[in-house]
């Protein structure tokens, strides 16, 4: 699951990002309203965590523009503006939840999970690829009914493969989307992580899911 955090206080944004990445979410950040709005128009995000008091463009303006543009990504407002009028205004503009700062990370995580469950209530959160099952809300992974434990980066890598099932991915694309920085062709960290993930998946199943495309990258086949 991919989450966008729009927050101008970089320490707060970093705290949220680290916590969510530990819980195996893919997290991107924006530190002003204009950059946040540009990113928020991308429909690939599953949740947007939105501050209200932002430079360049306020959170209320972002929310209004998103809903007028028919962007329906769930939005959780996270703001120090805790007056009842602010909360009512945010919800009326189309926010799905409202959490007042200062906040508990545990409560933020619980609210994010609740929004994810709600957004997937008409569709099963379970993704099946052969005998592999992934719960995209709880991040539980099983194969042949055996639980598989993955690190945060291994899970992010698996989720990226799942979103691109049956598509060949080169190492640069994988690095940019999972690690979010430019790929150095002199390193082999992508190959190391893919091999770790592949071994864990294959420990609990007979069939091979992730295949090497020699000289190019990898593909996950259903």
Q: How much is the average pLDDT of 15-38?
A: 92
Instruction: Encode pLDDT of 122-139 as tens digits.
Output: 556 788 888 888 887 778
pLDDT value for 185: 62
Domains in the chain, please, with CATH?
2-119 (3.40.50.2300), 126-220 (1.10.10.10)
Q: Whole-number mean pLDDT of the chain?
A: 88
pLDDT digits (tens, 9 = 90+) for 168-204: 988 888 887 787 665 566 678 889 999 999 999 888 7
Compute the Cα dihedral for 172, 163, 34, 27 and give only its sign. negative
Let me know: does 46 contact 119? Beta carbons within 8 Å.
yes
The dihedral built from the CA positions of residue 165, 170, 173 and 178, taken in this order, carries a sign that is: positive
pLDDT, tens digit, 9 for 90 and up, residues 54-86: 999 999 999 999 999 988 899 999 999 989 999
pTM recorded for the entire structure: 0.65
CA distances from 126 to 12, 116, 157, 162 (A): 32, 13, 17, 12
| Pick from 58, 47, 65, 43: nearest CA to 4 | 47
Residues 150-159: what's their mean pLDDT? 88
| 73 token code pair | 């990504």
Q: Measuring CA to CA, how many Å separate 32 from each of 50, 94, 110, 162?
A: 11, 20, 25, 31
Is 39 or 176 the better-scoring residue by pLDDT?
39
Q: Do residues 47 and 4 touch, judged by C-beta distance below 8 A?
A: yes
């Amino acid at each position: 699951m991919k989450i966008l955090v729009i927050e101008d206080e970089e320490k707060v944004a970093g705290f949220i990002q680290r916590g969510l990445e530990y819980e195996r979410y893919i997290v991107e950040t924006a530190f002003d309203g204009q950059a946040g709005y540009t990113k928020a128009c991308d429909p690939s995000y599953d949740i947007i965590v939105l501050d209200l008091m932002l430079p360049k463009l306020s959170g209320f303006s972002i929310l209004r523009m998103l809903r007028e543009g028919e962007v329906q990504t769930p939005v959780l407002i996270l703001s120090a503006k805790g007056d009842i009028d602010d909360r009512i205004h945010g919800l009326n503009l189309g926010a799905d939840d409202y959490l007042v700062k200062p906040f508990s990370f545990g409560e933020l995580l619980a609210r994010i999970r609740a929004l994810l469950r709600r957004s997937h209530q008409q569709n099963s959160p379970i993704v099946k690829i052969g005998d592999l099952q992934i719960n995209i809300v709880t991040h539980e992974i099983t194969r042949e009914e055996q639980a598989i434990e993955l690190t945060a980066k291994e899970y992010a890598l698996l989720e990226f493969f799942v979103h691109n099932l049956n598509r060949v991915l080169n190492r640069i694309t994988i690095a940019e989307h999972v690690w979010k920085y430019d790929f150095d062709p002199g390193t082999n960290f992508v190959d190391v992580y893919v091999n770790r993930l592949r071994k864990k998946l294959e420990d609990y199943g007979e069939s091979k899911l992730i295949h090497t495309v020699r000289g190019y990258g990898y593909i996950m086949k259903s």
